[in-house]
């Protein structure tokens, strides 16, 4: 079974990131949900990202609010696809997280979905996997035919 990491910067982000793990499971992808902070545990984040490919992950979904550096730190330490989910909250209700997530330097891309768009992050992973996985492509076609919900 394909494995995807679902990382969040705080345990408080669990409800906002639940859409990612739920959607991954719907597509037959195993979510590995973890709390990792780019600011509080940067060495743990770097070590996880550096070994993610050899540990069998296909992609990493990162949800974080405010400064939202988690996706960027992960992307700096892996060549796997990284999808950032800016999370609402704080003074700007997620706009700050959106800007922080989407404004990555050339050479370190982070695909970015809407604020609190964790389910779409999971669908994006399924779409990436469907390029070489015909069963995944079939599941996506069925998902779309059923109204993509």
The string of pLDDT tens digits covering residues 63-122 is 999 989 999 999 999 999 999 999 999 889 999 999 999 999 999 999 999 999 999 999
pLDDT tens digits along 22-58: 999 999 999 999 999 999 999 999 999 999 999 999 9
Question: What pTM did the predictor assign?
Answer: 0.97
Q: Where are the domains of the chain?
A: 3-145
Q: Do 87 and 16 contact (CB within 8 A), yes or no? A: yes
Q: 3-state class of 72 per DSSP?
A: helix
Report the alpha-carbon distance of residue 69 to residue 3 in Å, rounded. 23
Per-chain mean pLDDT for the chain: 96
pLDDT tens digits along 115-143: 999 999 999 999 999 999 999 999 999 99
Out of 1.10.3720.10, 3.40.50.720, 3.40.50.1970, 3.40.50.150, the CATH code matching 3-145 is: 3.40.50.1970
Report the alpha-carbon distance of residue 124 to residue 122 in Å, rounded. 5
Question: On the CB side of 40, how many CA atoms lie within 13 Å of its CA?
Answer: 8
């Amino acid at each position: 079974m394909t494995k995807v990491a679902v990382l969040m910067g705080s345990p408080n982000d669990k409800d906002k990131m639940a859409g990612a793990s739920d959607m991954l499971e719907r597509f037959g992808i195993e979510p590995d949900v973890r709390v990792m902070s780019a600011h509080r545990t940067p060495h743990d984040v770097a070590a996880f990202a550096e070994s993610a490919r050899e540990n069998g992950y296909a992609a990493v979904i990162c949800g974080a609010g405010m400064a939202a550096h988690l996706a960027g730190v992960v992307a700096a330490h892996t060549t796997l696809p990284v999808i950032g989910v800016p999370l609402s909250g704080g003074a700007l209700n997620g706009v700050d997280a959106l800007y922080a997530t989407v404004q990555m330097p050339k050479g370190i891309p982070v695909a970015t979905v809407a604020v609190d768009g964790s389910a779409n992050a999971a669908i994006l992973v399924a779409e990436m996997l469907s390029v070489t996985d015909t069963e995944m492509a079939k599941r996506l076609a069925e998902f779309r035919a059923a109204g993509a919900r």
